[in-house]
Amino acid sequence: MDKKAEFNLDKVRKFFDGELEKHGATHEATNWGSQASQYRRFEILSETGGLKGKSILDVGCGLGEFYRFLKKEFKTVDYTGIDISEEMVAGASKLFRGVKFETRDILKISGSDKYDYAFASGTFNVKFKGNEKFMKCAIERMFDLSKEAAAISMLSKYADFLDDFYYYYDPEKIFAFCKTLCKKVVLRHDYMPHDFTIVLYKD
C-alpha cells in the first residue's frame, strides 16, 4: 500500500462538524440511525478479544461513545480516541474529563505508537474521493499499530437500502485485501443486513 497516499477528508470533517452543530452531543451528531444500532456495532467489535485492562485506539472516536461502552463492559481500559474533527474531539473531552482524545489522522500516526487493539466503528462510511484506497491504507495502518488485533465495521454493498451520500464496501474484496496482511482474518456479516465487521489478528 502507498504509504505516501494523500486524501482530502474535508468533506467528511465538515459533515460531522455540521452534524454536531445541528444535533449537539447526541448519537445523531455522529450520524448513527439509532443508539441501539451504534451499540450493536460496539458489541461486535468488543468480541474481538479480552479487552479488560488493554490499551485501545478508537479511530474516528466522535464524541467518545465507544469509551462509555468499554468502561461499562470492561471497567478498566487504557483508551485513546482520535478523530479528524477538532469539534468532535473538543466535545468528547468535555463529556469525558481526563480521557485521552486527540485530533489526529490515522494515516499520520507514528509507527512507534502501539496499542493492544485498534478499532473503527463506521468511521469511513461517508463517500469521498478515494474511499476504497483510503480504507485499505487505514486498515493497514491500524493493523501495524495493533499488538493483538484490529477491527473495523463498515457499510456493506449488500445493504437493503443504498444512499448516494455513503460508500458501501464489498465484504469479499475487503476480506481478500486483509488476507494479504495476515493469516487470521474474521468477517462478520450476521448482525445487521447493511453492515459488516472485519477483524485482523496478529499471528
Q: pLDDT digits over 135-174, tens only?
A: 999 999 999 999 999 999 999 999 998 999 899 999 999 9
pLDDT at 24: 66
Residue 191 has pLDDT above 70, yes or no: yes
| Domains within the chain, CATH numbers bracketed | 33-201 (3.40.50.150)
Give the residue-averaged pLDDT of 95-116. 91
CA distance 175 to 186: 8
Residue partners of 16: CB distance under 8 A and separation at least 6: 29, 30, 31, 62, 85, 87, 88
pLDDT band at 130 (very low <50, low <70, confident <90, very high): confident
pLDDT digits (tens, 9 = 90+) for 4-27: 455 667 766 666 666 666 666 655
pTM of the predicted structure, to 2 decimals? 0.88
Provide the strand spans (E) within the chain.
Answer: 55-59, 78-83, 100-103, 115-121, 146-155, 184-188, 195-201
Residue 190 has pLDDT above 80, yes or no: yes
Cell 450493536 belongs to: 40
Cell 485499505 belongs to: 136
